[in-house]
Amino acid sequence: MIREVAIVGVGWSPFRSITPDLSYKEMMYEAAVRAYEDAGIDPRRDVDSFVTVAEDFNEGTSIFDEYVPDQLGALHRPVQTITGDGIHGIAAAVMQILTGQFDVVVVEAHSKASNVLTLPHILAYAMDPVFNRPLAAHPYFIAGMEMRRYLAETGTPLEACAQVVVKNRANALRNPLAGYGADLTIDDVLASEPIAEPLTRLACADHADGAVVMVLASGETARALTDRPIWVRGIGWANDTFWLESRPWGQARYAYLAGQMAYSTAGIKSPRTEIDFAEIDDTFAYKELQHLEALGLCKPGEAGAWTLEGGTELEGEFPVNPSGGSLGEGHLLDCTGLARVLEVVLQLRGEAGPRQIEDAEVGLAFAWRGVPTTSGAAVILSN
C-alpha cells in the first residue's frame, strides 16, 4: 500500500430476521452513532467523504445516495453509492484515502431484506435478459447446478457441505449479533427440504436485516484517533464472466483473482501460514469450501476433508467464519461483506467474546455478491 489506511471505528445495528420496529434509516443511524463513538469523531466536522453500498432495486428507490446523508451526518459532504458488496465499499474508501485528498472516509451498508417481497425476481434481473431470464426459474437453480459440478469435479462428499452448516450455525450460538444460531447435525442438513438439488434448505443462508458502518482513516490520522487501529494490508476484487454458458462451473475464479490481488498488495506469499483465520462467503454451504480452495487456503478438492476433520472449527488449525458467517448471522444483501469485515475487526481487537481466537493478528474477509454474479472482493487486515 502506498499510503497507510486503517479501520478506526465500527458500529452496527443487530442482525435480525425481521425488523418491523425499525426503518432502514433508523438502523443506519444506530450503526453510525456506534461507529462515530468508537472512532471518537464528529461526522459533521471530521469526515471528508461517505460511501454507501446499496442496490437501487433492493431499496426501491433510484440514486440511493440521496437518501443517506441525514442519518449518517453527511449533509453537504461528498456521498457516493457503490452498487456492489460491502467490501467493494471498503475498496472505494481505501482508494479515496490513497489519493491523499481524504483523511477520513465512512463506509455504510445495510439490509432491509424483510421489506423486499419479491427478492427472487430482483435477483433474476441480473441474469442475461435474452437467454436466461425468460426461463422464469428461481435464481437458486444456478447454485444447485454449480454445487453439483463442484462436488463432481473435486470428489467432495455432501456431508462436507452439511458440516459447514453445522459448524457455522454452532459458532453463531456464541455471537449475540447472529440471528440463526442452532445446534444441528449433518443428518438434519441433508434431510432438509430440497431447494435445487443437491442444495437443501438448511444449506442456504436465510436473509436478515441489519446495518454496519465503518470509519477508515489515513495512517497519521488513525494513530491520532486510536491506539488500536486495524490496518488494511491488502485489498482485491474481481469479476468473472456474467454468462452462465461460459463460466467455469466447478471453480470460483473470481475468488482466486480477488485473493491474488489482495495477497499481492499485502505482500503475502503463503496465505495458509501468514493468515490466522478467515471470514469467507457461505451464502450456500458449498461456497465456503469452494472459496477456501480458490483463495489458496487449501488445495483444490481438499476443503471438504479439511472441514470434516475439524480443521476449520473455532478451535481448529485455521478457524473459518467464527461469527457464524451468513448461515449463522443471516445474509445481509449488500451488507454481507461488511459483516465479514466486522468480525475480523472484532477478532483482531480481542473483542469477540466467547468466540475469540487466541493470538489473532492477521485476518482475511472475502465476500461474493451472490447468484447469478461472479463478483467477489477480499481484504486482509492486521492489528
The tens digit of pLDDT for each residue in 321-364 reads 999 999 999 999 999 999 999 999 999 999 999 999 999 999 99
Q: Name the residue ranges covered by the structural domains of the chain.
A: 5-118+209-229, 135-205+231-382
- Three cell numbers at 143? 447454485
DSSP code string of 306-332: HHHTTTTSTTSSS-B-TT-HHHHH-B-
Q: What is the CA radius of gyration of the chain?
A: 19
In single-letter form, the type of residue at position 199 comes to L
371 pLDDT exceeds 80?
A: yes
The tens digit of pLDDT for each residue in 86-127 reads 999 999 999 999 999 999 999 999 999 999 999 999 999 999
- Classify 186 in phi/psi space as left (phi over 0), alpha (psi -120 to 50) or beta: alpha
Predicted pLDDT of residue 146: 97
Average pLDDT across the chain, whole number: 96
Peptide bond into 198 cis (omega under 30): yes
Q: What residue has cell string 426503518?
A: 23
Neighbours of 133 (CB within 10 A): 15
Q: Where are the beta strands (DSSP E) in 17-128?
A: 49-53, 79-82, 104-112
CA dist 23 and 31 (Å) reads 13
The structure's pTM equals: 0.96
Give Dmax over CA atoms of the chain in angstroms.
56
The tens digit of pLDDT for each residue in 276-315 reads 999 999 999 999 999 999 999 999 999 999 999 999 999 9
The tens digit of pLDDT for each residue in 13-30 reads 999 999 999 999 999 999
5-118+209-229: which CATH architecture? Answer: 3-Layer(aba) Sandwich (3.40)
Domain 135-205+231-382 has CATH 3.40.47.10: yes
CA dist 347 and 71 (Å) reads 28
**Contact of 338 with 214, CB cutoff 8 Å:** yes
Mean per-residue pLDDT for 47-60?
A: 95
Backbone phi, then psi, for 144, in 5-degree steps? -60, -45
* Same-fold call for 5-118+209-229 versus 135-205+231-382: yes
